[in-house]
A and B are shown apart, each in its own frame.
Chain A
Amino acid sequence: SAVISQKPSRDICQRGTSLTIQCQVDSQVTMMFWYRQQPGQSLTLIATANQGSEATYESGFVIDKFPISRPNLTFSTLTVSNMSPEDSSIYLCSVDGGQDFDEQYFGPGTRLTVT
């Protein structure tokens, strides 16, 4: 299984500002995923990030609001732009288990509060 770290672990931000969340994996992975979990709700996929190509966004999420970088096979960032209180969530990155495995492994998450 992959070991995934995220920074920051939590932050409190003012509306209108932006926050970049970093995700680091201890091994090279093809696909990385960014999820959001709003209070009391399940995980919602924001986008899939493949190295060397543009991220693929899910319905309801746009690049201007959630720009993603994937500069190499072990690292990705998600930026939450022009934040509003509705963006208060836990943001999680995850990776797939590799060629033979379908399970996903999750980072520790970033708890974001927007005031």
Chain B
Amino acid sequence: EDKVVQSPLSLVVHEGDTVTLNCSYEVTNFRSLLWYKQEKKAPTFLFMLTSSGIEKKSGRLSSILDKKELFSILNITATQTGDSAVYLCAVDATSGTYKYIFGTGTRLKVLA
């Protein structure tokens, strides 16, 4: 069965810390891996990764994919209280029919 597992489930850090969030997956047909930030209700798109070893960056956030070991990490440097959210990892495993699999998320809380 296809699955996406995120760790840790929750994390509490202080402003200025660097955090690494993990996402591992097992799917039959891998197309891409996506990271979302969810505050309140709706997830907002962060990154889409399709190729191994190519880092994607946006400000203090960066992410990389390892298709051999079947995982991805999301790094946040110099964390701020505004980074507090649930970070969701999803894998597009579409093959004929649409199939997105979401992990349970990592709940990050950044303390001032």
Residues on A close to B: CB < 8 A?
1, 31, 33, 41-45, 48, 56, 90, 92, 101-109, 111
Docked pose: A48 CA to B34 CA in angstroms: 19
> For chain A, what secondary structure do more than half of its interface residues adopt (helix, strand, loop), or is it mixed?
strand
Contact digits for B81-111, partner A, Cβ 8 Å, 1 yes 0 no:
0000000101010000110101111000000
Docked pose: A74 CA to B112 CA in angstroms: 42
User: B48 at the A/B interface (Cβ < 8 Å)?
Assistant: yes
Q: How far is the CB of B29 from chain A (nearest CB, A)?
A: 13
On chain B, which size bracket covers the interface?
20 to 34
Question: Is the Cβ of A111 less than 8 Å from the Cβ of B41?
Answer: yes
For A109, the chain B residues whose CB sits under 8 A away are 40-42
8 closest pairs, A vs B, by CB? A109-B41, A42-B102, A43-B102, A106-B42, A42-B104, A102-B32, A103-B45, A108-B42
Question: Is the Cβ of A107 less than 8 Å from the Cβ of B104?
Answer: no
Question: Is the Cβ of B31 less than 8 Å from the Cβ of A102?
Answer: yes
User: B43 at the A/B interface (Cβ < 8 Å)?
Assistant: yes
Question: Is the Cβ of B104 less than 8 Å from the Cβ of A31?
Answer: no
For B20, the chain A residues whose CB sits under 8 A away are none
Question: Is the Cβ of A33 less than 8 Å from the Cβ of B98?
Answer: yes
Q: How far is the CB of A54 from chain B (nearest CB, A)?
A: 14
For A103, the chain B residues whose CB sits under 8 A away are 34, 45, 48
User: B44 at the A/B interface (Cβ < 8 Å)?
Assistant: yes
Docked pose: A32 CA to B102 CA in angstroms: 17
Known: A33-B98, A108-B41. 4 other contacts (CB 8 A): A44-B102, A92-B43, A101-B48, A104-B34
